[in-house]
């Protein structure tokens, strides 16, 4: 999956940038009499009107692949476009202070790489693009068949709602409502339950705002982005930041999870370049000369030519929304603002009607008798293109967002002893994670929220599904006290079935070590120590490579 690395690094470049045996409840024995609808996020390939798969380049925030050949070719086009733009337009910007042709060229050239997968200026699918016929057939079949069958119960995979993840969540929610009505009809059930993931949580919130929860028995949120996803929210609102040390950490995560295959020597070279001051000096020069001219125009052009999908805009936090709209589309009345008026209307409608009211929607569910479960994952490096890159996260969203409000430390600073002591005095000590990174007591639903460390955002393990399946189909609201395992769990690094209670002994699952004094030294002795440490690690990796070559006879 080297193409994922290529896409990520290309994006940064252009920006200049077992499952436990529960005593009270055993989730392996869940045999639901309530149909459960699963709705995920982006990932399924988009097709053109002739049923040919389009490049999945724009979906690198997701978890599934598109057509790999198309994606690889799109990456090549993207890099080629970048070279073309620098050659043709950058000098004009530098010497004539005329940057608009450069911004326009970026948007035009990058749009070519993404092709027909992009939406039009109204946020609508263009040129007849859609999800696959197979997915549409599956939705149609589910709407007309009771999948309980001879087994006599409903499984978590019986009813999947497939949809075009690029479109307006408010419109998708209308189709989702028809799907739920049909499932109720063909199964004879009074209500259905929902397990939603990633962008699917935006759709479910849009559904709840428009249609309420009368048809819903339970809702499980997993890796929720409906409170915002920082890499999208902050990038679109100008809070852009590239942290080289964070890039190293995400490469180490990729190696550990098998996403990348980067030799440690390469990572050590990046680290040495950063610790030697070369990268900081280069970035400092760019900031002093071109940064102010480049960043806003480039990020706006990139957004419009790559990720300006209404369902992605639904990941922008309300606090960032107005800034993001101005940042990407310009001032109200400007040429670009007028051109994209249809898209702006859609994303503003969602922000006003849904996004600003997420807390009330979520808290209102148990008040209306809906069974609710929330899973927040963490332990990996957040995408290193935003100012929140050091937050506790699952790669694409912070724990604070995905858990609906947990208080957390950062990668460098866990919750302080003073803070923990104060919470213990209040009788809230049980909500503190063993690694001292999370206080769950501040969540919207602290007793209905579980945390799993060592699972990335784009992983959806069997254990997660069964935990939520158990909660959203139970005859009563299950809480963290109903299971033998704790509110905080650790996933086995290779076994998707294994989930154990987090302890102080097993909580260090990260694929990297952090030391803020070495990563970001502020004093001259500190910088010298960081450089020498990095140089030693680099030299050790160099010796390893040379030894391997000698031993192999190369």
Question: Could you tell me whether strands 407-408 and 438-439 are parallel, antiparallel, or unpaired per DSSP bridges?
Answer: antiparallel
Measure the CA–CA gap between 440 and 447, rounded to whole angstroms.
Answer: 8
Measure the CA–CA gap between 310 and 100, rounded to whole angstroms.
Answer: 25
Q: Which pair of tokens denotes residue 545?
A: 């490579």
**With 0-12 CB in 10 A as exposed, 13-18 as middle and 19+ as buried, what is 347?**
buried
Q: Which pair of tokens denotes residue 352?
A: 């006003």
Measure the CA–CA gap between 455 and 460, rounded to whole angstroms.
Answer: 8
For 146-152, the CB contacts below 8 A with 24+ separation are 146/186, 146/187, 146/188, 147/35, 148/35, 148/187, 152/31
Compute, in degrees rounded to 10, the torsion defined by CA atoms 79, 123, 4, 227. 130
Please tell me the number of Cα atoms within 13 Å of 343 on its side-chain side: 28
Measure the CA–CA gap between 506 and 511, rounded to whole angstroms.
Answer: 13
- With contact defined as beta carbons under 8 Å apart, do 397 and 439 qualify? no
Question: Could you tell me whether strands 36-39 and 159-160 are parallel, antiparallel, or unpaired per DSSP bridges?
Answer: parallel
Give the 3-state secondary structure of residue 410.
strand
Give the 3-state secondary structure of residue 195.
strand
Give the 3-state secondary structure of residue 168.
coil
DSSP 8-state secondary structure symbol assigned to residue 237: T
Per-residue pLDDT of the chain (554 residues; tens, 9 = 90+): 334 334 334 433 333 333 333 334 555 557 789 999 999 988 788 888 888 887 544 333 333 333 334 444 544 454 455 545 445 545 555 555 555 666 666 666 666 666 678 888 899 988 888 899 999 999 999 999 999 887 888 888 899 999 999 999 999 999 999 999 999 999 999 999 999 999 999 999 999 999 999 999 999 999 999 999 998 898 888 787 767 777 778 877 777 777 656 666 555 665 656 655 655 554 554 444 455 555 556 666 666 655 678 999 999 999 999 999 988 888 899 888 999 999 999 999 999 999 999 999 999 999 999 999 999 999 999 988 788 989 999 999 999 999 999 999 999 999 999 999 999 999 999 999 999 999 999 999 999 999 999 988 988 888 888 899 999 999 999 999 998 778 999 987 666 667 888 999 999 988 888 876 776 677 776 666 655 665 566 556 555 655 655 555 55
- With contact defined as beta carbons under 8 Å apart, do 463 and 496 qualify? yes
In sequence order, what are the residues at sequence separation of 6 or more whose Cβ sits closer than 8 angstroms to the Cβ of residue 358? 205, 226, 227, 404
The residues that bridge with 449 in the sheet, in sequence order, are 374
Backbone angles phi, psi at 408, to 5 degrees: -135, 165
Backbone angles phi, psi at 551, to 5 degrees: -65, -30
The residues that bridge with 37 in the sheet, in sequence order, are 159, 194
Measure the CA–CA gap between 442 and 433, rounded to whole angstroms.
Answer: 13
pLDDT of residue 392: 95
Measure the CA–CA gap between 150 and 152, rounded to whole angstroms.
Answer: 5
The angle that helices 292-302 and 100-114 make with each other, rounded to 10 degrees, is: 30
If you search the block for the tokens 């929860």, which residue do you land on?
Answer: 213
Distances (CA, A) of 188 to 71, 161, 181, 219, 292: 43, 19, 10, 19, 61
Q: Which pair of tokens denotes residue 167?
A: 């479109």
Rounded to the nearest integer, the mean pLDDT of the chain is 79
pLDDT of residue 527: 63
Measure the CA–CA gap between 380 and 392, rounded to whole angstroms.
Answer: 8
């Amino acid at each position: 999956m080297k193409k994922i690395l290529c896409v990520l690094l290309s994006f940064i470049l252009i920006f200049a940038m077992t499952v436990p045996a529960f005593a009270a409840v055993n989730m392996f024995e869940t045999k639901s009499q309530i149909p459960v609808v699963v709705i995920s996020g982006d990932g399924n390939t988009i097709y053109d009107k002739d049923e040919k798969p389009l490049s999945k380049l724009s979906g690198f925030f997701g978890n599934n692949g598109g057509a790999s050949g198309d994606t690889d070719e799109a990456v090549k086009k993207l890099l080629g476009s970048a070279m073309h733009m620098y050659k043709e337009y950058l000098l004009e910007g530098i010497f004539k202070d005329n940057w608009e042709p450069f911004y326009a060229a970026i948007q035009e050239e990058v749009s070519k790489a993404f092709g027909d997968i992009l939406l039009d200026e109204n946020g609508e699918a263009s040129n007849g693009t859609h999800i696959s016929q197979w997915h549409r057939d599956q939705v149609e079949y589910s709407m007309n068949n009771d999948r309980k069958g001879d087994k006599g119960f409903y499984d978590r995979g019986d009813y999947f709602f497939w949809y075009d993840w690029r479109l307006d969540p408010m419109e998708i929610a209308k189709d989702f409502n028809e799907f739920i009505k049909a499932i109720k009809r063909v199964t004879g059930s009074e209500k259905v339950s929902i397990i939603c993931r990633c962008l699917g949580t935006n759709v479910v919130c849009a559904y709840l705002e428009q249609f309420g929860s009368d048809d819903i028995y339970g809702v499980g949120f997993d890796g929720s982005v409906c409170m915002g996803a920082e890499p999208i929210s902050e990038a679109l609102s100008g809070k852009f930041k590239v942290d080289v040390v964070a890039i190293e950490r995400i490469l180490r995560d990729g190696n550990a999870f098998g996403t990348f295959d980067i030799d440690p020597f390469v990572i050590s070279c990046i680290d040495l370049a950063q610790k030697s001051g070369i990268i900081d000096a280069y970035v400092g020069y760019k900031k002093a000369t071109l940064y102010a001219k480049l960043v806003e125009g480039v990020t706006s052009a990139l957004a419009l030519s790559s990720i300006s999908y209404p369902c992605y805009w639904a990941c922008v936090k309300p606090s960032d929304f107005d800034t993001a709209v101005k940042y990407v589309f310009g001032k109200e009345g400007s040429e670009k603002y007028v051109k994209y008026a249809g898209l702006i209307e859609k994303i503003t409608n969602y922000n006003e009607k849904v996004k600003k009211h997420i807390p009330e929607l979520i808290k209102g569910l148990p008040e209306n008798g809906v069974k609710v479960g929330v899973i927040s994952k963490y332990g990996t490096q957040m995408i290193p293109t935003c100012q929140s890159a050091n937050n506790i996260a699952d790669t694409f969203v912070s724990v604070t967002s995905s858990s609906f409000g947990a208080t957390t430390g950062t990668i460098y600073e866990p919750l302080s002893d003073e803070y923990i002591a104060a919470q213990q005095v209040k009788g809230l000590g049980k909500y503190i994670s063993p690694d001292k990174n999370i206080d769950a007591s501040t969540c919207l639903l602290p007793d209905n929220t579980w945390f799993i460390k060592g699972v990335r955002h784009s992983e959806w393990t069997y254990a997660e599904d069964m935990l939520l399946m158990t909660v959203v189909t139970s005859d009563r609201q299950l809480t963290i006290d109903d299971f033998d395992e704790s509110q905080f769990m650790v996933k086995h690094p290779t076994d998707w079935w294994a989930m154990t209670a987090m302890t102080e002994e097993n909580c260090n699952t990260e694929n990297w070590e952090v030391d803020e004094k070495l990563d970001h030294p502020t004093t001259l002795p500190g910088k010298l120590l960081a450089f020498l440490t990095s140089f030693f690690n680099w030299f050790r990796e160099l010796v390893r490579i040379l030894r391997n070559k000698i031993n192999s006879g190369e």
